[in-house]
Structure 1
Amino acid sequence: MIEKYQQEFPYSHYLSNLSSLNLTNNIQSGRLPTLGEILCNKTKAPINLHLFYLYMKIVENNVDYLDFWFDLVNHLNLCKHYVKALRESVVRQSLIVSGTPLTSNNPFSGSDDNRDSFPMSEKSIRKSLSLSMLLELIIKDHILEDDDSNRLSEFLRGDVNLKNVSPKLKQMIETYDYDDVQQLSNAVYGEPYLPTYDKRVSLLSPLVDEYDPDLRPPMPRHSLTPSLVEKLIRETNASSDFISRNTVRELSHNLLLKYFVDDSEKSLDLPPKLRQDVVHAIQVEGRDDPDVFNIVKKYVFSHMEIDHLPNFLNFIAIKNVTTTTNSRIIVGFFFLFVSFWLAFTLIFLNEKKRYRCVVLATFFAGFYGLVSSIYKIDPFLALCRRTESFTPHHLFIRVDDSFVRTLLLKRSAWVLFLVLLLTAVMSVLLCLVPGKRL
């Protein structure tokens, strides 16, 4: 199962922490698990994630929801890794500026040493220090946080409003933007850019004819975007070997093509409104943050929790007979027929009553097969901590979960009591009947 996703998505090894996607994160003993605990892979056999996936694939024949869930987790972890790599690059640059020695595993890190061997101008040094201070303020303002999915999506959308950050960070970003405007003005006009309220140009001036609207200075910045952080990191000569934003966008687009468009590879039974919202957010708005799939994620989670989880627990957690029900019925009726045949044969042969006790074994085998098929509980398998497997390559599954093991033992005790009771009643009845030779 895991190998499948590693082949389809090369970044699937970031599939580690699923807690932020689920409603329950800490498993509690003494009860059956919730769907969140199973998806977190915090449960043991036979109610773990691996068997739940096989159940959805083999028994329910509806594994698309779980495939979407795993792909969604892969997308979230890729977004987290992207933001985490940005933060680590910022921290690495801050350590370099502060003079802390760093060891790099990058085979191309030698180029940094050659680059540093060239003397830097005083202006470049001031700019590097200024950018490093700006990046450090971004870290201190907790903008590059990958633990909170809401802040993560807000940053990826570029919705971090400068009004909500610290005044010093806002001032430095505005200063950085102003310096960019000055450089653009120098490159185009050969002179520093002056705002319109400082330098007025007459409408009759020949400069108006030379005005190119495409060379206008950029509009004032109102939010902090990932592209700005990437630009700052690259301008500080920090390592930029993190995952690119295009990789995140590509993965979001793959999810769109795989699950939400017409004739997609996987089929999700979603309301048309949810499907249209996701398509519009990715194709029209160009979004790739995890919140794009937030409503669909909740819908899929609720669907699996209501429609599939109870069937799974009923199928494998409170029963240990899954595939041999019909054969147990056949064997049970066969031994009951043998029991009655032996009993009546011994009765009409007027054999001694102690010889008739042989029907104890046949009655036990017959009632064992019938009662275990009705309750779908095999006491012998429960004692051996095994349950029947529904997969084609295994006969039994080991029961490692303590609550499931206790539950199966309790139900097995009731089944065994019924088997012994029926065996005793029928055996005593047929053994004590007076014999008469025909």
Structure 2
Amino acid sequence: MASPDSFLDVEQRNRLPTLFEVLSRRTLAPVDLFSFYIYMRDQQRSVDYLDFWLDVSQHMSLCRHYVRELRRSVLVATPDIERADSKRSSAMLENLENLGDIPLVEAGPSRLQSNEKDRDADHRLSAFLRSEGATSSHSPQNSIGSQSAYQTRSNDQQPRPSDGTRNGDSNSPGHTVARNDIRASAEKILYTYLLPGSEREIILPETMVSTIINLIEDDNRDDPEVFDPAKDYVFQAMERDAFPGFLQAKALGNLVPLSIIARLAFALISFGGGFWGAFYVVLRNKPRDIRCWVILPFAVAAYFIVSYQYKIDPAMAFIGYSEYTFMNWAPIREPYVRKLLNKRALVTAAIAFLTAAALSILFIFVPGTML
């Protein structure tokens, strides 16, 4: 979930958001994660990449919750005398204390983690899970390694919160995340998106996929660093191929493709009716008060043809609404996007007005001829 500070940043941000800000839920409609999910599903037709990102982010959150709860339970439940007597307890406590306080923030691509402290914290988290996994029993008999055990989400399902919490069995009271949950989460990602022939397989470099498969199945790893190369690759692909089109559609316009095509059809019909009526009143030498009626079809035609050309409905932009799906409108809440759309709506409305006025004046004042 986005923190209150992130919403303060929204008010101060005088620019379009970045992809990472959208994925980490730091933006508002119509450039929020929900809008991006719909765009990837309906227009880009590559929602599996976004689902992979969300599942890997949830896996990182799951690991962070697990380590935080483990650290808390060990510190509270282990008496000082037992810590001193037990070498294993002492070693675990030392490892947990070295981790420090794990922040519950959205995990981003490693190349965007400019803060050395954050990179180091994620590295120590993965190292701890690897060391703990080496002492755990993840034999083939105990592993949840059955591809049929996982149900994939349909394309109509919406993004889930990535807090990573779930109910599971644990030997420690009060735990909401068990160690097996982390293993199951890693295997679910593997069997859903990465194994060749899987139902929602995403296209990644073959060497990258082979490395991840070996790390999970052969080395029994389930720490977040296993998916870092694939996560960075998917992020760069979305940033390069999908995100510019998303900003073009949502920050510079407020219509979906089906609505845009419908407006083109209405514009052509209105232009046809307007020109038919205009030539009729001119060729029949009708008086100017009757010719003024040609303003109506030309105004409608100009409005819709400009909406088609610039992919924006000026009237809906002025009242602060953007189209999510066909004829499904929602308020524009991102301040900078609203200002941007208002400026574009003003320009497009002026173009529509001038087009309609020019055509109307032409046919109203042109000399008539009686045929």
Shorter chain as denominator, the TM-score bin is 0.7 to 0.9
The amino acid that maps onto 2:99 is I
Matched-pair contact (CA < 8 Å) for 1:79–1:289: yes
Structure 2 counterpart of 1:251: 185
Q: Give how far 1:84 is off.
A: 0.9
Matched-pair contact (CA < 8 Å) for 1:399–1:405: yes
RMSD of the TM alignment (CA)?
Answer: 3.0
Matched-pair contact (CA < 8 Å) for 1:331–1:366: yes
Q: How does 1:241-280 map to 2 (within 5 A)?
A: 242=175, 243-280=177-214
Q: Give how far 1:239 is off.
A: 4.8
Q: Percent identity?
A: 34
TM-score, structure 2 as length reference? 0.75
The amino acid that maps onto 1:36 is F
Deviation digits for residues 268-292 of structure 1 (CA, Å, limit 9, x no counterpart): 1000010011111112222111111
The amino acid that maps onto 1:51 is S
In the alignment, the residues of structure 2 paired with residue 372 and residue 55 of structure 1 have an alpha-carbon distance, to the nearest angstrom, of: 20
In the alignment, the residues of structure 2 paired with residue 261 and residue 136 of structure 1 have an alpha-carbon distance, to the nearest angstrom, of: 34
In the alignment, the residues of structure 1 paired with residue 230 and residue 216 of structure 2 have an alpha-carbon distance, to the nearest angstrom, of: 14
Q: How many residues are aligned here?
A: 312
In the alignment, the residues of structure 2 paired with residue 347 and residue 245 of structure 1 have an alpha-carbon distance, to the nearest angstrom, of: 82
- 2:250 is equivalent to residue 294 of structure 1: no
Structure 2 counterpart of 1:157: 130
The structure showing larger relative contact order (alpha-carbon pairs under 8 Å, at least 6 residues apart) is 2
In the alignment, the residues of structure 2 paired with residue 53 and residue 283 of structure 1 have an alpha-carbon distance, to the nearest angstrom, of: 31
Structure 1 counterpart of 2:352: 419
In the alignment, the residues of structure 2 paired with residue 128 and residue 140 of structure 1 have an alpha-carbon distance, to the nearest angstrom, of: 13
Structure 2 counterpart of 1:368: 303
Partner SS, residue 324 of structure 1: helix
- 2:284 is equivalent to residue 349 of structure 1: yes
**Residues 348, 259 of structure 1: alpha-carbon distance in 2 compared, 3 angstrom cutoff:** closer
Matched-pair contact (CA < 8 Å) for 1:321–1:377: yes
* From 98, 123, 126, the counterpart of 1:142: 98
The amino acid that maps onto 1:134 is S
* From 55, 58, 69, the counterpart of 1:74: 58
Partner SS, residue 325 of structure 2: coil
Structure 2 counterpart of 1:189: none
Q: Give how far 1:134 is off.
A: 3.4
Q: Structure 1 unaligned segments of length 5 or more: list them.
A: 1-15, 19-24, 98-125, 160-223, 228-237
In the alignment, the residues of structure 2 paired with residue 36 and residue 69 of structure 1 have an alpha-carbon distance, to the nearest angstrom, of: 11
Matched-pair contact (CA < 8 Å) for 1:90–1:139: no
- 2:260 is equivalent to residue 325 of structure 1: yes
**Residues 240, 130 of structure 1: alpha-carbon distance in 2 compared, 3 angstrom cutoff:** farther
**Residues 145, 273 of structure 1: alpha-carbon distance in 2 compared, 3 angstrom cutoff:** farther
Structure 2 counterpart of 1:53: 37
Q: Give how far 1:306 is off.
A: 0.7
**Residues 129, 277 of structure 1: alpha-carbon distance in 2 compared, 3 angstrom cutoff:** closer
Q: Give how far 1:370 is off.
A: 1.6
In the alignment, the residues of structure 2 paired with residue 375 and residue 139 of structure 1 have an alpha-carbon distance, to the nearest angstrom, of: 58
Partner SS, residue 434 of structure 1: coil
In the alignment, the residues of structure 1 paired with residue 369 and residue 96 of structure 2 have an alpha-carbon distance, to the nearest angstrom, of: 99
Partner SS, residue 142 of structure 1: helix
Higher mean C-alpha displacement, 142-151 vs 38-47: 142-151
**Residues 351, 255 of structure 1: alpha-carbon distance in 2 compared, 3 angstrom cutoff:** closer
Q: Give how far 1:350 is off.
A: 3.1
In the alignment, the residues of structure 2 paired with residue 30 and residue 244 of structure 1 have an alpha-carbon distance, to the nearest angstrom, of: 43
Structure 2 counterpart of 1:89: 73
Q: Give how far 1:88 is off.
A: 0.5
In the alignment, the residues of structure 2 paired with residue 291 and residue 409 of structure 1 have an alpha-carbon distance, to the nearest angstrom, of: 44
Q: Give how far 1:137 is off.
A: 6.2
**Residues 405, 92 of structure 1: alpha-carbon distance in 2 compared, 3 angstrom cutoff:** same
The amino acid that maps onto 1:143 is L
Structure 2 counterpart of 1:206: none
Deviation digits for residues 91-130 of structure 1 (CA, Å, limit 9, x no counterpart): 2136x65xxxxxxxxxxxxxxxxxxxxxxxxxxxx55664
Deviation digits for residues 231-255 of structure 1 (CA, Å, limit 9, x no counterpart): xxxxxxx956544433322322222
Matched-pair contact (CA < 8 Å) for 1:45–1:51: yes
Q: Give how far 1:35 is off.
A: 0.9
The amino acid that maps onto 1:247 is D
TM-score, structure 1 as length reference? 0.64
**Residues 66, 397 of structure 1: alpha-carbon distance in 2 compared, 3 angstrom cutoff:** same
Q: Give how far 1:40 is off.
A: 0.8
Matched-pair contact (CA < 8 Å) for 2:193–2:199: yes
Matched-pair contact (CA < 8 Å) for 1:258–1:266: yes
Q: Structure 2 unaligned segments of length 5 or more: list them.
A: 104-120, 137-170
Matched-pair contact (CA < 8 Å) for 1:47–1:317: yes
Structure 2 counterpart of 1:31: 15
Higher mean C-alpha displacement, 344-353 vs 150-159: 344-353
Structure 2 counterpart of 1:9: none
